[in-house]
């Protein structure tokens, strides 16, 4: 009889003599890394990523090394082609990986830069399995969901554990139990717990407690059925986190405890919170952090002195929430304004800056589809500043240009991001430089004055499968400019990009002679990355997405500058 110690040692043995197959990275040590697996029931969108990242933060504060990974069920290789209406914003990591917005939650909460090892889709898993099959890596075996596809999932988790040297890997499975596309992920987690042995894995089920208005009481049946689906898959939850609009009462918690074999001390209520940054305190107050430590038998690894220091810093931040002395309204002008998740990083960046400045930032969502020069004043009359965010496609572009023109002429604080940067160049070229036909070849492919275009070096790589400029890039700042001062007089800063089109270098001299300053440029290429307008209270735009690197304790300077200017403008 082969026990799971021998099984773990069978590093990918594919011989026909054995049914065991569990690929292990060279040097992997069983028991060194523990796993916390967070799964959803009832419905998606409950905040698995928020819960997982908050719990991971508590472990990080205790001196433990943590590494998150999001496992997505869809067949896309990455999130780059997903419509924001369907899946929220595309979050770009420093290494250029286009991924789920939950990775942004992890980066902000943990104050860490993640990479492609922290994100996986079913498409990636199947691709890797099929590539190995074509190479003959499976030595003639018939390739199956079990053990080969589930083995690939476990290999990814163990590889991440080794590369990150993590004490705990936090595994978030997208969607809910019962989703067909997630079945092999859940099975892989069952196998992982079996192979790694006792006290190796902690399973968390995030569920939802219904409270129909017509009944006037909380109902747990949907939660019970969702948990039952997990248990039918061989997963016994260790912790059940109950999401609800109001605190979950004792009676409901008792029902779920009895139904799931989970002690009531580990059936926790997570009611809606004013800010996600208050959730770590909620988990800490109910003792969830130490429950996990006990379940994984790693109490001896923590550093309580470090925890006191880190928690004090966090409390200094969260104590400011809700105590702002001033309020400003920032207008976000775009075409995805009906889906707030499309701009999740922008919302968070504004919150970080507002808290740092003691100012509550309210957002006014402005659809630019019907805005013109004639009615822009009416649409912008109630805002203290505007952001023109990124986006793709033609719809709403002229409205964005009209908003920028109004902001430039009426001294309204303005921040342009990516596409907003390009629209600012077009507006300035048309209305200040006199290039009336100025446009982007993305919007008008045959325009006569393409101030925004794909650069020749970008066009050259189109045949290789894509010409998107992705990930972290350094930019050189021009001394004695607003951007230079915003970033603390640094000569070089790093931000993340996701775009194809650039300012055409042929027009740079014309734009600068008319008064526009390109205060941030690529150190090695003729690529303009930040622009600003002197004499304006705050008129600045960047080809980057600075919101992607804003953190709660380290607000992004361009957003802090906008909020400060809006406060003065008010």
| Confidence band of 464 (pLDDT split at 50, 70, 90) | very low
Looking at residue 46, what is its pLDDT? 82
Determine the pLDDT at residue 493: 96
- Per-residue pLDDT, averaged over 342-357, amounts to 94
Q: Is the pLDDT of residue 97 over 90?
A: yes
**pLDDT (average), residues 514-523:** 96
| Angle between helical axes of 102-110 and 344-357 (0-180°, round to 10) | 30
At 86, the pLDDT band (50, 70, 90 cuts) reads confident
Q: What integer is the mean pLDDT of 290-306?
A: 96
Q: Is the pLDDT score of 2 beyond 50?
A: no
Parallel, antiparallel, or unpaired: how do β-strands 359-367 and 385-388 relate? Answer: unpaired
Look at phi and psi of residue 136 and say left if phi exceeds 0, alpha if psi is from -120 to 50, else beta.
Answer: left
- Whether pLDDT at 465 is above 70: no
Quick one: 77 exposed, middle or buried, by C-beta within 10 A (0-12, 13-18, 19+)? middle
Separation CA 168–CA 370 (nearest Å): 50
Tell which wins on pLDDT, 536 or 177: 536
pLDDT, greater one: 191 or 334: 191
- Dist. CA 23–CA 414, nearest whole Å: 53
38-52, 234-248, 265-279, 391-405, range with the lowest pLDDT:
391-405
Q: Residue 19 gets which letter from DSSP? A: -
CA distance 330 to 193: 48
Mean pLDDT of 245-270: 93
Phi, psi of 33 (to 5 degrees): -105, 135
The CA–CA distances, whole Å, from 310 to 36, 138, 304 equal 22, 47, 10
Question: Residue 335: which pLDDT band, with cuts at 50, 70 and 90?
Answer: low
Q: Is 107 helix (H, G, I), strand (E, B) or coil?
A: helix
Does the pLDDT at position 85 exceed 80? no
Output the pLDDT for position 5.
54
184 vs 33: CA distance, rounded Å = 22
How many whole angstroms separate alpha carbon 420 and alpha carbon 408? 13
Rounded to the nearest integer, the mean pLDDT of the chain is 91
Q: What is the pLDDT of residue 82?
A: 84
Please state the φ and ψ torsions of residue 301, each to the nearest 5 degrees. -90, -5
Q: Is the pLDDT of residue 11 over 80?
A: no
Q: Tell how far CA 18 is from the center of its chain.
A: 42
User: Distance (Å, rounded) from C-alpha 288 to C-alpha 38?
Assistant: 14
Site of tokens 């990918």: 12
Quick one: average pLDDT of 125-148?
92
Structure tokens at 266: 């580990």
pLDDT the model gives residue 405: 97
Residues 42, 58 contacting (CB under 8 angstroms): no
C-alpha to C-alpha distance for 188 and 167, rounded to whole angstroms: 20
By mean pLDDT, which of 242-251, 279-288, 386-395 is the weakest? 386-395
DSSP string, 40-81: E-S-S-S-HHHHHHHHHHHHHHTT--EEEEEEE-SS-SSSTT
What is the structure's pLDDT at 569?
85
Which helix (H) or strand (E) segment holds residue 359: the answer is strand 359-367
- Burial, 394: exposed, middle or buried (Cβ in 10 Å; 0-12, 13-18, 19+)? exposed
Can you tell me the mean pLDDT for 320-343? 83
Q: Which of 397, 404, 433 is nearest to 510 (CA)?
A: 433
Residue 382's nearest CA partner among 230, 570, 208, 250 is: 570
CA separation, residue 373 to residues 334, 335, 343, 377, 412 (Å): 16, 18, 25, 8, 15
Q: Please provide the DSSP assignment of 500-547 as one string.
A: S-EE-GGGHHHHHHTT-EEEEE-SSSS-EEEEE-TTSSSEEEESS-GG
Which domains does the chain show, CATH number per domain? 22-28+35-299 (3.40.50.300), 326-569 (3.40.50.880)
| Band of residue 202 on the pLDDT scale cut at 50, 70, 90 | very high
**Whether the Cβ atoms of residue 427 and residue 399 lie closer than 8 Å to each other:** no
Choice among 124-133, 144-153, 463-472 with the minimum mean pLDDT: 463-472
Residue 403: per-residue pLDDT? 96
Q: Are 199 and 161 in contact (CB under 8 A)?
A: no
**Considering only CA atoms, which of 111, 90, 112, 113 is closest in space to residue 102?**
90
- State mean pLDDT over 257-285: 93
In this prediction, residue 463 carries a pLDDT of: 46
Mean pLDDT of 262-281: 93
Is pLDDT at 1 greater than 50 in this prediction? Answer: no
Instruction: Tell me: pLDDT of 460 over 80.
Output: no
Confidence of residue 391 (pLDDT cuts 50, 70, 90): confident
The confidence band for 163, taking pLDDT boundaries of 50, 70 and 90, is very high
Q: What is the DSSP letter of 435?
A: -
């Amino acid at each position: 009889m082969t026990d799971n110690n021998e099984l773990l040692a069978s590093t990918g043995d594919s011989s026909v003599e054995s049914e065991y197959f569990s690929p292990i990275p060279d040097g992997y040590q069983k028991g060194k890394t523990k796993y916390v697996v967070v799964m959803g029931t009832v419905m998606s969108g409950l905040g698995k990523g928020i819960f997982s990242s908050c719990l991971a933060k508590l472990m990080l504060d205790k001196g433990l090394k943590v590494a998150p990974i999001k496992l997505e069920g869809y067949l896309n290789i990455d999130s780059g082609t997903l419509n924001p209406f369907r899946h929220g914003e595309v979050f770009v990591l420093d290494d250029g990986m286009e991924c789920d917005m939950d990775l942004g939650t992890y980066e902000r909460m943990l104050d860490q830069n993640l990479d492609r090892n922290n994100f996986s889709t079913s498409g990636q898993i199947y691709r890797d399995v099929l590539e190995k099959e074509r190479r003959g890596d499976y030595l003639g075996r018939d390739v199956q969901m079990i053990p080969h596809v589930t083995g690939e999932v476990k290999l990814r988790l163990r590889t991440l554990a080794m590369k990150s040297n993590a004490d705990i890997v936090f595994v978030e499975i997208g969607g809910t139990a019962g989703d067909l596309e997630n079945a092999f992920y859940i099975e892989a987690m069952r196998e992982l717990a079996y192979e790694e042995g006792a006290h190796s894995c902690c399973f968390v089920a995030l569920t939802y407690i219904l409270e129909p208005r017509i009944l006037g009481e909380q109902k747990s049946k949907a939660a019970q059925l969702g948990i039952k689906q997990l248990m039918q898959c061989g997963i016994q939850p260790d912790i059940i986190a109950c999401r609800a609009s109001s605190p979950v009462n004792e009676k409901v918690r008792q029902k779920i405890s009895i139904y799931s074999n989970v002690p009531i001390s580990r059936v926790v209520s997570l009611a809606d919170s004013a800010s996600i940054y208050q959730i770590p305190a909620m988990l800490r107050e109910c003792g969830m952090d130490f429950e996990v430590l006990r379940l994984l038998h790693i109490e001896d690894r923590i550093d309580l002195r470090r925890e006191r220091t880190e928690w004090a810093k966090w409390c200094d931040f969260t104590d400011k929430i809700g105590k702002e002395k001033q309020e400003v309204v920032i207008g976000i002008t775009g075409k995805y304004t009906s889906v707030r998740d499309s701009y999740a990083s922008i919302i968070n960046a504004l919150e970080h800056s507002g808290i740092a400045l003691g100012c509550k930032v309210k957002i006014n969502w402005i659809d630019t589809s019907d805005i013109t020069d004639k009615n822009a004043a009416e649409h912008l009359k109630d805002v203290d500043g505007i952001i023109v965010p990124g986006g793709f496609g033609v719809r709403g572009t002229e409205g964005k240009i009209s908003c920028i023109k109004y902001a430039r002429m009426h001294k309204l604080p303005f921040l342009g991001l990516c596409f907003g940067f390009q629209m600012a160049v077009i507006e300035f070229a048309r209305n200040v430089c006199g290039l009336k036909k100025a446009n982007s070849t993305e919007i008008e492919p045959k325009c006569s004055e393409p101030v925004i275009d794909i650069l020749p070096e970008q066009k050259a790589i189109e045949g290789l499968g894509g010409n998107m400029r992705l990930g972290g890039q350094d930019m050189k700042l021009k001394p004695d400019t607003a951007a230079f001062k915003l970033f603390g007089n640094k000569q070089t800063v790093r931000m993340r990009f996701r775009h194809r089109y650039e300012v055409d270098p042929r027009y740079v001299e014309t734009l600068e002679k008319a008064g526009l300053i390109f205060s941030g440029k690529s150190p090695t290429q003729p690529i303009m990355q930040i622009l600003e307008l002197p004499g304006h209270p705050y008129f600045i735009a960047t080809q980057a997405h600075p919101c992607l690197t804003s953190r709660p304790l380290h607000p992004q300077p361009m957003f802090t500058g906008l909020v400060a200017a809006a406060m003065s403008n008010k």
